[in-house]
Amino acid sequence: MSDSQERRPRTTTASPAPGELSRRTLVGLGAATALGVTTGGALAPRALAATSADTPSAASPVTVAFSDPTGLYPVGGDSPATPDLLVTVNSPAATSGTITWSIAARLGEPLRGGTETFTAAAGTPGTVTIPLGSLDPDHYTVTAAVTDDAGTRLFADTLGLGVIRPAAEGRRPQSVFGMGIRPESTPAVTKLIAQRIGVKWTRGIDAVQPDFVSPARGVFWQQPRIDAARAEIAEWHRHGIETLGGINYNMSWNVQPGPNGEPLKLYQNRPKDMAAHVEMVYHAIAPLQDLVTNWELWNEPWVHGWTWKTGDAQDYRDMCRLVWERVKPEYPHVNLIGGGSVSYNRDIVYARGSKDTGYIDGSVNHAYGYPDATQYAMTKTQIKMDKLWSRTNGRAGQWQTELGTATRFNFADLPKEEADYAVARTLAPTYLLHMLAGAEERSPIRIFWFSLSYDKGYSGDDFNIYDVTTRTPLPAVVAYATMTNLLEDCELLGELYPDAKSTWGFLFRGADGKGRAAVYADQLYDGTDEHQDAGHTGTLTLDDARGIRAYDHLGRRLTDGTSRRVTLALRPWEVVYLDTDLTPEALTHTLTDGARFDYDAPLQVGPLPFVKPLDRTSTIDVRVENVSPGATDALITLTPPDGWQTDRRTVPVGGLRPGESRVVSFPVTRYRLDDHNRYAIGYDVTVPGRPGLHQKGSRTVQVAYLPFRQITVGGSASQWNDVLPVTMTNVSAAGDTRTYTFQAAWDDAFLYVRALIEDDAQVSNPPFPADEYQFPFKADSIQLAFDAVTDRTEDLLAGDPHYEKCLRSVSHLFVATLATGGRSELHRQLAPGTNYQTYYPTNAPLATPLGPMDAQPTVGTEGRVLVSRDDGAGLTRYEIALAWSQLPELAAAVKKAPPAGVTPMTFAVQVQDSGTTGRGATYWTTQSAPPVSGCYNFAPFWGTGAQFTGGRVDTRWGIGH
């Protein structure tokens, strides 16, 4: 898409209508959880409602299909495919007319087309076979229109067609490549599709249902049903596919009633009789354990959520322990897989100090959403937790049983056809980020894209990679086949560019000992992740490319290995695969020392906030980071705000190493104060040796400064009069703006924050004592995040080579909210001693308590908080005082500062505007600097760290003396 095309405003968009989901909500909560909340658990496996795609429609006299019902044509070597289009007319009356058709690759111009005539006798099917010509690997669209001689259009549609590289044959129990294969679909064709595209794992066994296994208390399945289950597993095996067994929730007679005694569906609550449930699990596993050794215990056991409405965290741990004690003595080789997301596992399964933790052999995560580097960060965290805290040190590895992107949720701004290709772009990067975490931590991992159904709709079918109306493949199918063809039977050795935020390079050793690689440029968040022009775009030139065959993400061959020097295009999330005759060591040299990356924007440039009041000693500071894998020089030309002058306008920056960041200062010789504390600073960066490259941009910065003031929470607003505010803006899709204003100060006792939040409607939780399961960050709230510690004992990723690239976490996080009844609450969400957990009532107390702090409007050992609401003005006022005891590391730095000095502080805020008409989340981190991916940052932690959810906290403030 060109830069001139219209883009959605680069801010948080308005929340969807009731029952719908924003993309940020979907990714933040995990699709299954979010959809479950909005649709009553509609993604419950094997417990599905029919959708409109299942509704019979008026029979058409015309069917159009391909000579292969899957629409997939595997080809090896340089042999092209020669598919046929079959047009069948079956009319009660004799009919004749014309068929107009064309074929195109990737929505491009037609490659060829034509018009054919047909004649069909009355009541007798007549088929016209149309050869589509020779086709190389790629995804194609075939458009067909059938018109009778009277001019009546009988059919018009576009079908997908995939020419794919062949998949590895046979079973591969160690493979990472799984797929969520839907049971609603025609089994024979669906299994054939999965086999052809290289799927090696499926989730769930349709014949193993709790009501089949235990139809009544003390009654268990007999040999005919067991034989049916074994036959189903054997059929998967014949297609080269392993099965992850799944305990598909409850027996219908054993569901705990709802909070008011109401009956609930199988998946909506914990088992009523846990002992009976455990017996069902045992009897499900026992007759199948020789065929299936890995068993998932429950899908998303979300405490007081869509599957565990009245159950608590200890109930889930109890269930895992009881199953373990029943199964393991007889079947120690069986692996029990538990949890629901990385953060859920930390909060529940491995809750520090709690009873009966870690009774699993491997853990589950659902990493829906864009392939932001936070997926890699959270997966590394998952592995480390399993190795540290599982009873078997995580011997079964990680099971990413649901992940993916969908056009409606992730690419809603694009036309449907373009969005389908955008989904395909995200597939391989998602797998590669997870695979890298597993390889680096030496832990097995299986990854299940969601989802595949050949010809039936289902709840959640926005994620389907087949078009069930035409029964033909979408581009993601071809992307999956390309990935498995080139990477199956390969060992991932590591990542080539750990310092370069623009680029990911994955080095493999093939079964033949030869080197392979996958390289892609990363996307950037600028208000949306939908449009590629926001990401890193450029070229990769290889000085010696002989013996290197390159393929793009849809299997199109780019180089044949005969050229000495090649240049490959790099676009965001579009993987380039390299299949080579080189050793992995030689390929490493070729892709590092022997490669040149020429990005359109090799540098990340960001004017920084001022950290003290403006005066004649002020400087305009610009952070310059080399995001490219190669060293570079730069020349920065500054455009100061209107009415300002600096003593120099251009500064050279030499020898920036990959990943190196420097702050360049421009001393100010004249300045002009802005009443709104907003200063637009422009820049133009050139790179020697890159004639014509101008990396231009601008950013509005503010003075972010805490003066020394003695403040009384709830006192007169005038005490804030001379404290300079910073502002955040939220622009909805309709273009209307909300302004959020923050002021901060400090004295010897407290760090103070005052916020004025424009908000049309107040959304509040019940007071904490009335319902301890309500998360404060889900209601209207503000979050205060600090990165203030050097001791990162609880940060499991500290010291990792990729830490600065994408793994950093915040150290302290506080949430302020207004509960119903006008009760002000201040919650501790994170601090040293909280183990990065979220508060659950039945967990053991932590060294640093989670949950509500000792903070009231006028008293409190840990702070003060007063949140007040003015419905008439549509304004919520937050007044917070954090006792320095809550930020001891920062307090020590302030104490050591000289009397006239400025103490640097890494700090950011988030505003949460909840409700069906709310604006969602707005982040200081994305408004004051280019966001950077991280791990644990703003809450909720199960959707944290990605650029589009605020990224890592690295924004600077100053504390004055």
pLDDT tens figures, 906-939: 999 999 999 998 999 999 999 888 889 999 999 9
Q: How confident is the model at residue 9 (pLDDT cuts 50, 70, 90)?
A: very low
Q: What is the mean pLDDT of residues 302-316?
A: 94
Average pLDDT over residues 469-483: 98
Whole-angstrom CA distances from 267 to 107, 248, 336, 452 are 41, 8, 19, 22
316 sits in the region (left: phi over 0; alpha: psi -120 to 50; else beta) called alpha
**Distances from the Cα of 768 to the Cαs of 258, 309, 948, in angstroms?**
21, 18, 29
Q: How does DSSP assign 813-879, residue by residue?
A: EEEEEEETTTEEEEEEEE-TTSTT----TTSPPPSS--EE-SEESS--SSEEEEEEEETTTTEEEEE
**pLDDT attached to residue 58:** 53
Q: Is the pLDDT of residue 207 over 50?
A: yes
Question: Is residue 197 pLDDT above 90, yes or no?
Answer: yes
Measure CA 540 to chain center: 27
Which pLDDT score, from 0 to 100, does residue 799 have? 94
Q: Is residue 403's pLDDT more than 70?
A: yes
**CA distance linking residue 368 with residue 593, whole number of Å:** 35
* Per-residue pLDDT tens digits for 574-628: 999 999 999 999 999 999 999 999 999 999 999 999 999 999 999 999 999 999 9
pLDDT for 37 equals: 33
Give the per-residue pLDDT at 49.
Answer: 33
Select the more confidently predicted residue: 44 or 175.
175
In this prediction, residue 928 carries a pLDDT of 86
Residues 678-695 have a mean pLDDT of 94
How many angstroms separate the CA atoms of 814 and 824, rounded?
13
Residue 516 has pLDDT above 90, yes or no: yes
pLDDT band at 48; cut points 50, 70, 90:
very low
Residue 26: the pLDDT is 40
The string of pLDDT tens digits covering residues 353-394 is: 999 999 999 999 999 999 999 999 999 999 999 999 999 999
Please choose, from the candidates 318, 339, 249, 327, the residue with its C-alpha nearest in 3D space to the C-alpha of residue 288.
327
790 pLDDT higher than 90: no
Alpha carbon distances (Å) from 404 to 179, 276, 361, 602: 10, 35, 25, 29
Q: Is the Cα dihedral 591, 596, 597, 603 positive or negative?
A: positive
> Residue 38 above 90 pLDDT?
no
CA distance 551 to 557: 4
Position 685 pLDDT exceeds 70: yes
**How many beta carbons lie within 10 A of that of residue 291, not counting itself?**
17
Q: What is the pTM of this model?
A: 0.94
Which two three-digit tokens encode residue 797?
């990723």
Q: Dump pLDDT digits (tens) for 213-248.
A: 999 999 999 999 999 999 999 999 999 999 999 999
pLDDT at residue number 360: 98
* Model pLDDT, residue 528: 79
Q: What is the pLDDT of residues 856-866, one digit of tens each?
A: 999 999 999 99
3-state DSSP assignment of residue 280: helix
pLDDT greater than 70 at residue 190? yes
Predicted pLDDT at 900: 86
- 383: alpha, beta or left? (left if phi > 0; alpha if psi -120 to 50): alpha
- Mean pLDDT (the chain) is 92
Strands 491-495 and 242-246: unpaired
Question: Given pLDDT bands bounded at 50, 70 and 90, which one contains residue 7?
Answer: very low
Region 454-459 average pLDDT: 94
